[in-house]
Amino acid sequence: MAGTPQETHSHEILNPYEGAPLPDHLIPELAYTPEVERETAHLYERVKRVIPPIEWPGFAPYVKAINDLKKHRNAVVLAHNYMTPEIFHCVADVVGDSLQLAREAAKADADVIVQCGVHFMAETSKLLNPNKTVLIPDSNAGCSLAESITGADVRALREAYPGVPIVTYVNTSAEVKAECDICCTSSNAVKVVESMGTDRVILIPDEFLAKYVASKTDVQIITWKGHCEVHERFTAEELRAYREADPGVKIIAHPECPPDVIGESDFTGSTSGMIQWVQDNQPSKVLLVTECSMSDNVAVETPGVEFVRPCNLCPHMKRITLPKILDSLIFLKEEVTVPEDVAEPARRAVERMINLNN
């Protein structure tokens, strides 16, 4: 088992991967040797502003082992913008928000997809790649929004509002997607809602995203009481205090935040929309009202920007670590599957969204 090396009587540490189903030269030693240091130096150069030198010897052997194994497995690593910098900048092949990751998953030509994000993201990749092996390094990486609603809840909404189309935020299980007409993400929600061509639309399960969309369209929005446990914790009061302390600071918020928090912000957008805004505007000081790793990941590429960090951690995203990614690639775990009777209608909802954007 990774992370639980056994001790011999002479206190020699056994390699936890000894005997793994791999050719000998790919069994990782996980030591910070001169070779590992040399082969990962270009990657440390990228992240040195956010990872202290004392921490790199702990990450580098995993980074090298993962990058070697990706080639052996013909695997691609898709990583959400909330992954920590050693994942985001050092082992990911594709990074992005939920929409970009879904689009890239649809194009992937690797045999194995390792989804560094939460479970609904891995399920979306599986829906779009039914014949590929889709792995998530920790299948307990959930989401408070996805857990707030079930397929039975959606069926009850259909009965209560006959004929009203149901748009589901991508942060839901495949079982919920299967009951809905189309999917959306934070970057295309207004466009998807308006594409329904009706006066009323049900948009589930994020109440705050739904309120944000309602403020941008004439379509009447019916919603659900789901919340993101990370974004609901921000308050307008704390943002006002930051602005009072420094009137020049720019405040950028994710649409999963409560409406009064969004009301205090200079820009609202998906995680990639937020990154793009910082890159385009290069503010001298910015406050990203979202998950903590975003600021680190953007700071790597925007050295002139100072980040104020009143961030909140997503405990689900933070379950994904380098040792677990390495385990995924060695043991081909944890495999994500969706029964075909659920996958078929859920895929239709996701593909309808992707085709709309194309």
Residues that bind ligand 13P (CB under 6 A): 81, 97-98, 171, 185-186, 228, 254, 256, 270-271
Q: Are 89 and 43 in contact (CB under 8 A)?
A: yes
Residue 271 marked as a ligand binder:
yes
Which residue, among 211, 213, 174, has the nearest Cα to 193 in the 3D structure?
Answer: 213
Give the DSSP H or E segment for 307.
strand 306-308
Sorted by sequence, the CB contacts under 8 Å of residue 182 that are 6+ apart come out as: 165, 167, 168, 192, 195, 196, 349, 352, 353, 356
Any contact of residue 144 with ligand SF4 (CB under 6 A)? yes
At residue 166, φ and ψ (nearest 5 deg) are -115, 120
Which residue, among 321, 276, 322, has the nearest Cα to 301 in the 3D structure?
Answer: 276
> 205: cis peptide before it, omega within 30°?
yes
Q: Rank residues 83 and 118 by Cβ distance to ligand SF4 and give the closer one.
A: 118
Q: Rank residues 95 and 330 by Cβ distance to ligand SF4 and give the closer one.
A: 95
Which one of the spans 50-58, 66-74, 143-151, 178-186 is the region binding ligand SF4 (CB under 6 A)? 143-151
Residue 170 marked as a ligand binder:
yes
Residue 335 marked as a ligand binder:
no
| The binder of ligand SF4 chosen from 145, 174, 196, 305 (CB under 6 A) | 145
Residue 255 marked as a ligand binder:
yes
Q: Are 169 and 350 in contact (CB under 8 A)?
A: no
| The binder of ligand SF4 chosen from 126, 132, 250, 316 (CB under 6 A) | 316
Q: Rank residues 40 and 124 by Cβ distance to ligand 13P and give the closer one.
A: 124
Residue 254 marked as a ligand binder:
yes
Any contact of residue 102 with ligand SF4 (CB under 6 A)? no
One character per residue 148-187, x = contact with ligand SF4 (rule: CB under 6 A): -----------------------x----------------
Q: Rank residues 40 and 185 by Cβ distance to ligand 13P and give the closer one.
A: 185
The DSSP line for 272-306 is: HHHHHHHHHH--SEEEEESBHHHHHHHHTT-TT-E
CB of 245 to ligand SF4, least distance (A): 26
Sorted by sequence, the CB contacts under 8 Å of residue 237 that are 6+ apart come out as: none
Q: Rank residues 319 and 348 by Cβ distance to ligand SF4 and give the closer one.
A: 319
At residue 190, φ and ψ (nearest 5 deg) are -65, -45
Any contact of residue 210 with ligand SF4 (CB under 6 A)? no
Binding partner of residue 98 among ligand 13P, ligand SF4, none, CB cut-off 5 to 8 Å per kind: ligand 13P
β-pair type (285-289, 250-253): parallel
Q: Rank residues 144 and 223 by Cβ distance to ligand SF4 and give the closer one.
A: 144
Residue 302 marked as a ligand binder:
no
Token match 């399960």: residue? 205
Any contact of residue 288 with ligand SF4 (CB under 6 A)? no
Residue 119 marked as a ligand binder:
no
Could you give the CA distance from residue 260 to residue 264 in angstroms, rounded to a whole number? 7
Residue 114 CB neighbours (<10 A):
30
Which residues are annotated as part of the binding site for [4Fe-4S] cluster?
Answer: 143, 228, 314
* Contacting positions for ligand SF4 (CB under 6 A): 118, 143-145, 171, 228-230, 256, 291, 314, 316-317
